[in-house]
């Protein structure tokens, strides 16, 4: 069985003639016969070119926090673009977005940009400029976008290339990246306080930033151990290092104020994107006054032709307004909790060792072990083959998380209790089918 119906297949063949591998981002490629062509979305559903409906738990890898084609957001964008889209001057919409982020996330200053990768790239430059240092610490299995500096030891890197735990190697996650720049990254397993402390104490004078995802949004939603984020905060304070929390996935999703609110930790710099605009391209770099003011014109470069454009800012104003005024996260949490509990029960019933990781708005399903995973190395010891089999059985039946277990399940405000019940029924069938 393949996922593509006849129309999807014909369109994907056409796509592959014009677009390498038929996709505009490699993460979307599920192979020649299973990569979908989606024609429309509405709320929590998407429909492929054959008209097949899916309950969507990929949600474009996280951005769709309210639902696809969410009327209030689309309407606001349509209204605002009547008056132009790009001026290369400050607009009232940009001011509103920055003010809302300040309020929701308790940051002092905000600069806007368009994608998560741009945000992390600029944030790293700001941290380097602020400290006058060039290296940074980051963690295996964390992802910070398509920036060359960060493309080592992500969850796409080979497990075998990571070296030993005590002496980890920054492993290239892609060809085409100069190996020389690996010298800037000190890559460590996440959640290991001892390794972190000794790395900082040995090299603090070279280290501009500790860059991290507060929970592993690109590796099954693995959570930080209690006290670990506090340790990062304390080490940054003690050694004059910039704490750079990458909230591209967690921001405006795990709480209105993101992971800073959820875990009760304020970072020096924070990056946002995804849920900020409910699927419209918009991102932000935010943080403390002193660090953010490093972007002085003429001193430290930050720019972008499309930064703060009307389309993205209008979408962000509408999305953040709904987040502030409606019980969005609360509702998703309830549905997500029911889903996590239901999946847990089904897997237990089927005698499949597992751990449900993450939080209800973005959770992971780790198979093959009852040991809670704490880092990327733990994750690779799980049964990713079984996960993928269950993922394909789910997709065939119209439930669409990513079939790669590193990608969490994302939920949106439009998901109903009935959708959760339907998902659990299908999950039960998918597990039986995958086991048979």
Residues interacting with ligand PLP, by CB under 6 A?
61, 115-117, 120, 143-146, 213, 217-218, 246, 248-249, 273
Return the number of the residue (117 or 319) whose C-beta is nearest ligand PLP.
Answer: 117
Q: What is the Cα–Cα distance from 333 to 411, expressed in whole angstroms?
A: 9
Least distance from ligand PLP to the Cβ atom of residue 402, Å: 11
- CB of residue 249 vs ligand PLP: minimum separation in angstroms? 4
Rounded least distance, CB 120 to ligand PLP, Å: 5
| Cβ 64 vs Cβ 410: under 8 Å | yes
Q: Cα–Cα distances in Å, from 54 out to 21, 342, 395, 396, 399? A: 23, 19, 8, 9, 5
**Closer CB to ligand PLP, 373 or 389, in the complex:** 373
Query: Considering beta carbons, is residue 61 or 139 the nearer one to ligand PLP?
Result: 61
Closer Cβ to ligand PLP, 142 or 354, answer by number: 142
Name the residue nearer to ligand PLP (CB basis): 146 or 265: 146
For residues 415 and 44, the answer to whether their CB atoms sit within 8 Å is yes
Please count the CA atoms within 13 angstroms of the CA of 123 that sit on its side-chain side: 40
Residue 67 near residue 414 (C-beta atoms within 8 A): yes
Q: Which residue is nearest to ligand PLP (CB)?
A: 116
217 or 389: CB nearest ligand PLP: 217
Q: What is the DSSP letter of 68?
A: B
Q: How far is the CB of 246 from ligand PLP (least distance, A)?
A: 5
**CA 283 remoteness from chain centre:** 12
Phi–psi pair at 294, nearest 5 degrees: -60, -25
CB-wise, 316 or 420, nearer to ligand PLP? 316
Q: Minimum CB separation from ligand PLP for residue 114, in Å?
A: 8
What span, in angstroms and rounded, lies between the C-alpha atoms of 255 and 259?
Answer: 7
Q: How is 6-34 classified by DSSP, letter by letter?
A: HHHHHHHHHHHHHSGGG-SSGGG---TTT
CB of 48 to ligand PLP, least distance (A): 23
Beta-sheet strands, E only, within 4-105: 38-42, 45-48, 53-56
- Please state the closest distance from residue 214 (CB atom) to ligand PLP, in A: 9
């Amino acid at each position: 069985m393949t996922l593509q119906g006849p129309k999807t297949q014909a369109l994907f063949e056409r796509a592959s003639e014009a677009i390498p591998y038929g996709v505009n981002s490699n993460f979307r490629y599920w192979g020649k016969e299973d990569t979908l062509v989606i024609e429309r979305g509405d709320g929590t559903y998407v429909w492929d070119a054959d008209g097949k409906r899916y309950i969507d738990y990929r949600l474009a890898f996280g951005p769709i926090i309210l639902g696809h084609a969410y009327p209030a957001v689309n309407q606001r964008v349509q209204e605002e673009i009547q008056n132009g889209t790009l001026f290369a001057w400050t607009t009232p919409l940009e001011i509103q977005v920055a003010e809302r982020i300040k309020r929701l996330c308790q940051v002092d200053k905000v600069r806007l940009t368009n994608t998560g990768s741009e945000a992390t790239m600029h944030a790293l430059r700001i941290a380097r400029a602020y400290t006058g240092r060039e290296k940074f610490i980051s963690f295996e299995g964390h992802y910070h976008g398509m920036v060359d500096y960060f493309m080592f030891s992500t969850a796409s890197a080979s497990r075998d290339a990571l070296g030993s735990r005590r002496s980890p190697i920054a492993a290239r996650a892609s060809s085409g990246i100069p190996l020389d720049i690996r010298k800037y990254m000190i890559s460590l397993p996440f959640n290991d306080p001892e390794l972190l402390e000794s790395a900082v104490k040995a090299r603090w004078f070279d280290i501009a930033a500790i860059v991290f995802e507060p929970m592993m949004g690109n590796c099954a939603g693995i959570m930080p151990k209690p006290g670990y984020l506090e340790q990062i905060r304390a080490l940054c304070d003690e050694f004059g290092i910039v704490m750079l929390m990458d909230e591209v996935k967690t921001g405006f999703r795990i709480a209105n104020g993101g992971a800073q609110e959820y875990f009760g930790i304020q970072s020096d710099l924070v990056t946002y994107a995804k849920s900020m605009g409910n699927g419209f391209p918009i991102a932000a770099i935010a943080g403390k006054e002193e660090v953010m003011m490093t972007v002085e014109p003429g001193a430290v470069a930050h720019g972008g032709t499309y930064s703060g454009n009307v389309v993205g800012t209008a979408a962000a104003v509408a999305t953040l307004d709904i987040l502030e005024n409606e019980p969005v996260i609360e509702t998703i949490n309830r549905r997500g909790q029911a889903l996590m509990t239901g999946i847990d029960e089904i897997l237990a019933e089927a005698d499949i060792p597992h751990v449900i990781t993450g939080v209800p708005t973005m959770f992971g399903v780790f198979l093959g072990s009852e040991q809670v995973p704490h880092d990327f190395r733990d994750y690779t010891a799980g049964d990713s083959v079984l996960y993928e089999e269950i993922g394909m059985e789910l997709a065939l039946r119209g439930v669409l998380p990513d079939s790669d277990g590193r990608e969490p399940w994302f939920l949106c405000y439009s998901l109903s209790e009935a959708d959760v019940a339907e998902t659990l029924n299908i999950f039960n069938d998918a597990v039986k089918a995958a086991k048979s």
